Amino acid sequence: MDPLVSFGRVLRQLRKEAGLTQEQLALAAGIERNYVSLIERGVNQPALKVIFKLAEALGTTPSKILLLVEAELKDAN
Amino acid sequence: MDPLVSFGRVLRQLRKEAGLTQEQLALAAGIERNYVSLIERGVNQPALKVIFKLAEALGTTPSKILLLVEAELKDAN
């Protein structure tokens, strides 16, 4: 599986666990709502700063998010 | 400190520890040598796929690289 697709799935899962809509997450992270949607669908790939912003908005760390992405990739392979 | 600057420092350190030139790392990761230089200088920010490619080329994982970046950011603040 593509890291982008995995990242999107993990992001969506973390957002839902946090009880946030895409709009709320976008606002908290300071990015466009449409961008959150594109990332969750694996269409757009987040750049480093966006990964940091999303992690902070979700009350986690970039490395923890990527650990989940790596686990998801391993499961899929 | 900016995550980009921290990422660049960490990348340079990991590359040197691996005994690779920028050119060798670029070749191993399948990206442009100039792009490695720009990332190490904190000028360009790597997108998600590039972080995965760099990690693989360095024999590590994206989450471990970001853990080092987070530690570097914490030290700097």
| CA–CA separation, B7 and B69 (whole Å) | 6
Determine which helix (DSSP H) or strand (DSSP E) holds B33, and give its type and residue range. Answer: helix B33-40
Condensed to tens digits (0 to 9), the pLDDT of residues A23-66 reads 999 999 999 999 999 999 999 999 999 999 999 999 999 999 99
Domain B3-76, classified CATH 1.10.260.40, yes or no: yes
Q: How confident is the model at residue B3 (pLDDT cuts 50, 70, 90)?
A: very high
Looking at residue A53, what is its pLDDT? 97
Angle at the Cα of B33 from the Cα atoms of B31 and B37, rounded to 5 degrees: 115
Q: B48 CA to chain A: closest CA distance, Å?
A: 6
Asked if the model's pLDDT at residue B1 lies above 80, the reply is no
**Which one of A40, A50, A53, A63 would you mutate to disrupt binding with B, by most B Cβ within 10 Å of its Cβ?**
A63
Cβ contacts below 8 Å, chain A against chain B, sum to 53
Condensed to tens digits (0 to 9), the pLDDT of residues B9-66 reads 999 999 999 999 999 999 999 999 999 999 999 999 999 999 999 999 999 999 999 9
Give counts: helices (H), strands (E), chain A. 5, 0
Looking at residue B75, what is its pLDDT? 85
Q: Give A 9-68 residues with CB within 8 A of chain B.
A: 45-49, 51-52, 61-64, 66-67
Q: In chain B, where are the structural domains located?
A: 3-76
Structure tokens at B27: 């070749």
